[in-house]
Structure 1
């Protein structure tokens, strides 16, 4: 495919070259991109561009956490004001999310449930947020109903998040075999720190050290080599793992 006589692979290479210059990468990347535009773009995307996007996401998450620490009620106030001025479904979902972030699960669930009665009732983000609120508020059965329907209808929507949350809901409802299956599937498919941690925590709580041990070893290896800011972002997850390990001893 060509645009204005220029191959699409050249356009992609130019895009990555601009990114390399703006982010002050080594100039050898420009040589790679223009000598081997297709292969060079693939290598640059995997080696530089994608990791930088993840870092930006982590930085944004850290920024939100810092803001919440300085003024924990700010987002709730702003979301409440926006909803009062313009009572749209979008603003109501923003209010529900803000309430959930500040630990007001019952109020968040009320807002989410109201949204579920409207025209966006099938929206995946809405149902995921509502499931979070229901589970945080102690309504595991309600969370399971939402998540099972969401996973069945939209299996490609955030499968890791949906699977882990469904596992947590199963565990809270006492359906331990189903919880373990969800956590194991997430850990095997995605291999993320969160998935491994949830599987390890579940296994320790259910007397399955042989399941927990490989995950704990991988978690410790990741923690050892993780940058300080990443350890800070995952502090609560590590705290839960350490608490589960201490309780199992």
Structure 2
């Protein structure tokens, strides 16, 4: 039995090592993983893998949504104070995310770009945040540059948000044939309300009711079963969809 346990430790370390190489992590992780197979693997999972997982992102979104509901400006205030007192790259990333969530996309884009000029220049999460900020601030071409570079480097990284942001950037640049193809691909691959809603928003703006109506019917059917938390998590895209439907 001890040999079985040892084998599991090694397999877990190998899994983490492969993830580290593919995701471009620092090479010291390989030393940690193979010097301390069990402990190193557990540390790697909690520090690197889980913070970027879908479950973790959902939990973070829920906490942020609840925080914004109770005190909409708190995170931005605290992020500004933290960056003013300790202007580290981590605090600048936090400030950029807070600015973006608060609707100040132009300032967020500047902060993200500043982060990308430092030691985190290759960080995919920062580049994704920068893409979103550029898109929201009306700079679709810059957003598309970041999204294209993410796909070239790691096609599997945050595939759904990368796909939807790419589709929106293409639409903003009036590249409608490519935008439609990207929306269709996202809807078929992920089958999420967010993908349907983004596709519907685009279709409504183009006057394409034949495309929009089935999507809206799907969204209404699924949305009728949501609980309060699910409704809150989907509120940003649903707010944009309601505005599109009214228009």
- CA distance in 2 between counterparts of 1:227 and 1:55 reads 18
Per-residue CA deviations over 1:189-241 (Å, capped at 9, x if unaligned) read 00011001111121222232222232222111101222233223323433333
Per-residue CA deviations over 1:116-172 (Å, capped at 9, x if unaligned) read 111211110010011111111111111111111111211110010001011111112
> Looking at CA atoms only, which structure, 1 or 2, has the larger radius of gyration?
1
- CA distance in 2 between counterparts of 1:237 and 1:125 reads 20
**Superposed CA RMSD:** 2.5
SS in 1 for 2:155: coil
- CA distance in 1 between counterparts of 2:245 and 2:94 reads 36
- CA distance in 2 between counterparts of 1:60 and 1:149 reads 26
Unaligned runs of 5+ in 2: 9-52
- CA distance in 1 between counterparts of 2:238 and 2:84 reads 39
Aligned residue number for residue 84 of structure 1: 84
The answer on whether the counterparts of 2:65 and 2:232 sit within 8 Å (CA) in structure 1 is no
Aligned residue number for residue 156 of structure 1: 156
Tell me the TM-score normalized by structure 1.
Answer: 0.72
Unaligned runs of 5+ in 1: 9-52
Q: Which has the higher contact order (CA 8 A, sep 6+)?
A: 2
Give the deviation of 1:57 after TM superposition: 6.4
- CA distance in 2 between counterparts of 1:118 and 1:58 reads 28
Aligned residue number for residue 35 of structure 2: none
Determine whether 1:115 maps to 2:124: no
Aligned residue number for residue 196 of structure 1: 196
**Cα 1:83–1:215 shift into 2, 3 Å:** same
- CA distance in 2 between counterparts of 1:215 and 1:157 reads 26
Aligned residue number for residue 104 of structure 2: 104
Alignment of 1:152-191 (within 5 A): 152-191=152-191
- Count of matched residue pairs: 202
**Cα 1:177–1:122 shift into 2, 3 Å:** same
- CA distance in 2 between counterparts of 1:58 and 1:130 reads 20
